[in-house]
Structure 1
Amino acid sequence: MGADGLRLPEPPAHEPAFEDDFTVPRLSKERWVDHYLPHWTSPERSRARYDIDDSGLRLRIDADQPDWREEDAPLRVSNVQTGVFSGPAGSLRGTHRHRSDGLVVRTETPERLLWAPAAGRVEVTVSASVDEGCMLAAWLVGTEHLSEGDSGEICMFEIDAVGEGESHARCGVKAHSDGRLTTDVTEVVVPLDASQPHTWTAVWGPSGTIIGCEGVIVRRMAQSPRYPLFLMIDLFELGPRSHSGTSYPKTAHVHGVRGWDALDRPEADAS
């Protein structure tokens, strides 16, 4: 599994600072914002479609779901994230400035730092979508509330190729507009059916970043963002809307999330 093949360090013995197993019937507003980067678009376009069932949080792409932004179409997304930040409407300030061609805030969104560690460990247990045109992803992205340069990203996984014996995912670090980082994202092959429950882990701190799947390291990098990051978990439908013979909703599950802040050096060491 990946180029490293070593086991991840054990999680801290103390309780997580952030935890959700989605066993209550409503999404916790103290933990999650159920919109995808709402400041860059309108509320009806950013709002996640989801429900909670016996398996956890089921993210959905519905047949009538609008594109997230007209300029980014065709792209539909249902996402939950652990905070939000933007400047005033019409400004250029906001978390995850994904394009450089005049992107401005359309919906001013009050700053909410629900969980935004600058170093730590997070574990995300998911079942990826097998639906046509879909990708399940989890990212840690710079909040940018302190500086617009704090824009780097730890891409835990982007899964859009699921198989019975093996699945493909992309993971690594993305610099975006942070000149202190270098984009380093590669595809890894994991020997499992990603449509079944499995756990991805990111551990990051001053010594670098490690990313693992099912307890095994798949990426090890000497760099990491050094500022607060939001966790985002997203189900995308990419490309043209599927033909009429494809059934909706398209779905993926998030079964649980655990996160620890600012770990001691042995836990965060990726050297």
Structure 2
Amino acid sequence: MFDERFTEGLDPSVWTPAYLPAWSSRAAAAATWRVDDDGLHLSIPPDQPLWCPDDHDPPLRVSAVQSANRSGPVGSTEGQQPFRAGQTVREEQPTVLGLTPGDGTVEVECRARLGPSAMFSAWMIGLEDAPDRCGEICLVEVFGDTVAGAHAAVGSGIKAFRDPHLVEDFVVEPRDLDVTGWHTYAAHRRPGSVDLAIDGVTTRNLRQAPDYPMQLMIAVFDFPDHSAHDPSDVPELVVRRVRYHP
């Protein structure tokens, strides 16, 4: 059983406050974050630099936490969620296995404030301790330009990447959902299936599942090249609770 309410900040034995830092560095990929009575605030202020600015297209900025972290040595291709073929590690990462759930239920309770050029997401990925163990279960993904009052287009499902045992099954569906309010996004995984839910109501039944431990990723993103980008806008994701129970 794991129940995180961020009452004492970020536990470094669980959380890495940087986004896939092997491809740049922990400093260059560092999140902007703080903790108060509402929980963990992830934000992107105007002066936050681009993530992997010489390597990633389109340009993006991101504040994220991840519940595990690892990589191979500098120059190797052994990292998590590479975004291009042959990508190599720039900073070797320590192995931190904070929350790496197998079967069971993962819940993320959060709210977001998004301009049209921002998005937020919570997803689980394989540790990639073997190349095929790289699949993704996306609990929620929302782009700000799909938000209209109490409605949003919500992405969820499975992304196969290089896992030959998975089939791509990611969809974006319109929902009556005010992302500025508190909602709980959940994935219940068991052998051969994943059920996704919002606020306790099942939204999707997936008839496949990764069969290896995974880590949780929680992030807010900003895309400066978006036609509606406002440099003064500060996207924010507030995470009140993370739970896992087998």
TM-score (norm 1): 0.84
Query: Does 1:204 find its partner at 2:226?
Result: no
Deviations 1:174-210 (A, max 9, x none): 0001111011100123322111111111011203011
Q: How much does 1:171 deviate? A: 0.4
After superposition, the Cα gap between the structure-2 partners of 1:163 and 1:53, relative to the gap in structure 1 and judged at 3 Å, is farther
Q: Secondary structure at the match of 1:128?
A: strand
Assess if the C-alpha contact under 8 Å between 2:70 and 2:96 holds in 1.
Answer: yes
Q: How much does 1:251 deviate? A: 1.2
In the alignment, which residue of structure 2 is the partner of 1:152?
A: 135
After superposition, the Cα gap between the structure-2 partners of 1:166 and 1:243, relative to the gap in structure 1 and judged at 3 Å, is closer
Please give the residue correspondences for 1:36-55 in structure 2 after superposition, counting only pairs within 5 Å.
36-55=19-38
In the alignment, which residue of structure 1 is the partner of 2:106?
A: 122
In the alignment, which residue of structure 1 is the partner of 2:91?
A: 107
Q: How much does 1:72 deviate? A: 1.0
Query: Does 1:22 find its partner at 2:29?
Result: no
Assess if the C-alpha contact under 8 Å between 2:48 and 2:61 holds in 1.
Answer: yes
What letter corresponds to residue 109 of structure 1 in structure 2? Q
Q: Comparing 37-46 with 134-143, which one deviates more in the overlay?
A: 37-46
Deviations 1:9-55 (A, max 9, x none): xxxxxxxx22111223x222132111111111122321011111232
Q: How much does 1:132 deviate? A: 3.1
Q: Which whole-Å CA distance do the structure 2 matches of 1:180 and 1:97 have between them?
A: 19
What letter corresponds to residue 65 of structure 1 in structure 2? Q
Assess if the C-alpha contact under 8 Å between 1:96 and 1:143 holds in 2.
Answer: no
Q: Comparing 119-128 with 240-249, which one deviates more in the overlay?
A: 240-249
Q: Which whole-Å CA distance do the structure 2 matches of 1:75 and 1:103 have between them?
A: 18
In the alignment, which residue of structure 2 is the partner of 1:240?
A: 225
After superposition, the Cα gap between the structure-2 partners of 1:215 and 1:88, relative to the gap in structure 1 and judged at 3 Å, is same
Assess if the C-alpha contact under 8 Å between 1:48 and 1:77 holds in 2.
Answer: yes
Q: Secondary structure at the match of 1:108?
A: coil
Q: Secondary structure at the match of 1:22?
A: coil
Assess if the C-alpha contact under 8 Å between 2:14 and 2:97 holds in 1.
Answer: no
After superposition, the Cα gap between the structure-2 partners of 1:193 and 1:72, relative to the gap in structure 1 and judged at 3 Å, is same
Assess if the C-alpha contact under 8 Å between 1:48 and 1:80 holds in 2.
Answer: yes
After superposition, the Cα gap between the structure-2 partners of 1:103 and 1:255, relative to the gap in structure 1 and judged at 3 Å, is same
Q: How much does 1:81 deviate? A: 0.6
- Root-mean-square deviation (CA, aligned residues, Å) is 1.8
Q: Secondary structure at the match of 1:202?
A: strand
After superposition, the Cα gap between the structure-2 partners of 1:244 and 1:170, relative to the gap in structure 1 and judged at 3 Å, is closer
TM-score (norm 2): 0.92
Determine what percentage of the aligned residue pairs are the same residue. 36
Q: How much does 1:241 deviate? A: 7.5
What letter corresponds to residue 62 of structure 1 in structure 2? P
Assess if the C-alpha contact under 8 Å between 1:129 and 1:135 holds in 2.
Answer: no
Q: Which whole-Å CA distance do the structure 2 matches of 1:241 and 1:188 have between them?
A: 22
Q: How much does 1:246 deviate? A: 4.2
Q: Secondary structure at the match of 1:258?
A: strand
Q: Secondary structure at the match of 2:27?
A: helix
Deviations 1:91-142 (A, max 9, x none): 0111222322x21000000111111122221110111222231111011000
Assess if the C-alpha contact under 8 Å between 1:19 and 1:258 holds in 2.
Answer: yes
Count of residue pairs brought into register by the alignment: 242
In the alignment, which residue of structure 2 is the partner of 1:186?
A: 171
Q: How much does 1:247 deviate? A: 2.2
Gap regions ≥5 residues in structure 2: none
After superposition, the Cα gap between the structure-2 partners of 1:19 and 1:242, relative to the gap in structure 1 and judged at 3 Å, is farther
Q: Secondary structure at the match of 1:43?
A: coil
Q: Which whole-Å CA distance do the structure 1 matches of 2:88 and 2:168 have between them?
A: 24
After superposition, the Cα gap between the structure-2 partners of 1:107 and 1:200, relative to the gap in structure 1 and judged at 3 Å, is same
Q: Which whole-Å CA distance do the structure 1 matches of 2:233 and 2:151 have between them?
A: 25
Q: Comparing 229-238 with 113-122, which one deviates more in the overlay?
A: 113-122
